[in-house]
Amino acid sequence: MTRLVETRARSKTEAEANLLQRLRARTAVRHGGTLRSVDRFSTAADLWMGRVSDMVADGRRSPGTLDTYRRQLDNHVLPALGEVRLGEISTPLVDSVIRTIKTKVSPATAKSSRSVISGVLGLAVRHGAMASNHVRDAERLEVKPRRRPRALDRSERDACFEALAANPKAVRADLPDLTLFMLSTGVRIGEALGGCGRRWTSIAVRSRSVDR
């Protein structure tokens, strides 16, 4: 059975490009995956977030990373791309979404949203639902830090620990040891409370003994 496929655009060239893209989407196969080109971006996003959650459980990603991805996905990415079918996503569309987030929200949010979109589309490519990850050809984002980071000097470090030790709430929450552990190892707070959370207290006590 033969079915006609039609597309409309402002020019003949654009209409032909849209037609080719739609034909590729209709003939795309799964290659053993669970996604198809006719599935919506939101479906792939749910599957990708499940993979990220598994990596957090395995200690390969921090809980903070999962929270950031979920926030950017719900607040910025899904409103723009959630209902778009995977086979209809293009580099110009992805580029437009990222630039809009950068203009309306912030460059930092646009950069993390770009990572989310790239992760979802990369999963779609691996499942055979897309031929390529269009984020790769989108415009790169350069995010300048608002302030140059500065390390604490010795007097500031000592004052920080003295203030924590003198605060009963901080002591009950083990913040002095947690702060010392993070300072001694250089890990992020998500890593300290996540994958390293079972070991940080004993390490911090040893580090404090050596420091003294």
Question: Is residue 160 included in any domain, yes or no?
Answer: yes
Question: Is residue 20 included in any domain, yes or no?
Answer: yes
Q: With the CA atoms of 11, 12, 17 and 21 taken in that order, what torsion angle do they form, in degrees rounded to the nearest 10?
A: 100
Positive or negative CA dihedral for 168, 174, 177, 180?
negative
**What average pLDDT score do residues 46-66 get?**
89
List, for residues 95-152, the tens digit of each pLDDT value: 999 999 999 999 889 999 999 999 999 999 999 899 999 998 888 876 666 677 788 8
117 and 67 within one domain: yes
Among the residues of the chain, which ranges form H helices? 12-27, 41-57, 63-72, 78-81, 91-104, 107-126, 154-165, 168-172, 175-185, 189-193, 200-211
- Domain range holding 202? 154-211
193 and 115 within one domain: no
SS (H, E, C) 82-142: CCCEHHHCCHHHHHHHHHHHHHHCCHHHHHHHHHHHHHHHHHHHHCCCCCCCHHHHCCCCC
**Nearest Cα to 186, choosing from 147, 137, 141, 151?**
151
Q: What is the CATH number of the domain that holds 105?
A: 1.10.150.130
Least confident of 30-44, 87-101, 154-168: 30-44
Give the N- to C-terminal CA distance of the chain in Å, as an integer: 82
Question: Is residue 202 included in any domain, yes or no?
Answer: yes
Question: Is residue 187 included in any domain, yes or no?
Answer: yes
| CB contact at 8 A, 87 and 7 | no
pLDDT at position 50 over 80: yes
What are the tokens at 94? 């992805």
Share of the chain above pLDDT 90, in %: 43
124 and 45 within one domain: yes
Question: Is residue 180 included in any domain, yes or no?
Answer: yes
pLDDT at position 182 over 80: yes
pLDDT at position 84 over 60: yes
129 and 38 within one domain: yes
167 and 128 within one domain: no
188 and 124 within one domain: no
Backbone angles phi, psi at 3, to 5 degrees: -120, 140
Least confident of 45-54, 70-79, 120-129, 148-157: 148-157
List, for residues 6-32, the tens digit of each pLDDT value: 666 677 777 777 667 666 555 444 344
With tokens 């924590």, the residue in question is 164
Q: How many domains does the chain have?
A: 2
> What is the pLDDT, as a whole number, of residue 208?
46
Task: Map residue 40 onto helix, strand or coil.
Answer: strand
- Across 191-211, b (16+ Cβ under 10 Å) vs e yields bbbbbbeeebeebbeebeeee
129 and 162 within one domain: no
31 and 127 within one domain: yes
112 and 37 within one domain: yes
178 and 103 within one domain: no
96 and 187 within one domain: no
**With bands split at pLDDT 50, 70 and 90, how would you rate the model's confidence at 212?**
very low
182 and 104 within one domain: no
Q: Directed axis angle between helix 154-165 and helix 175-185, to 10°?
A: 150
What single-letter DSSP state applies at residue 32? T
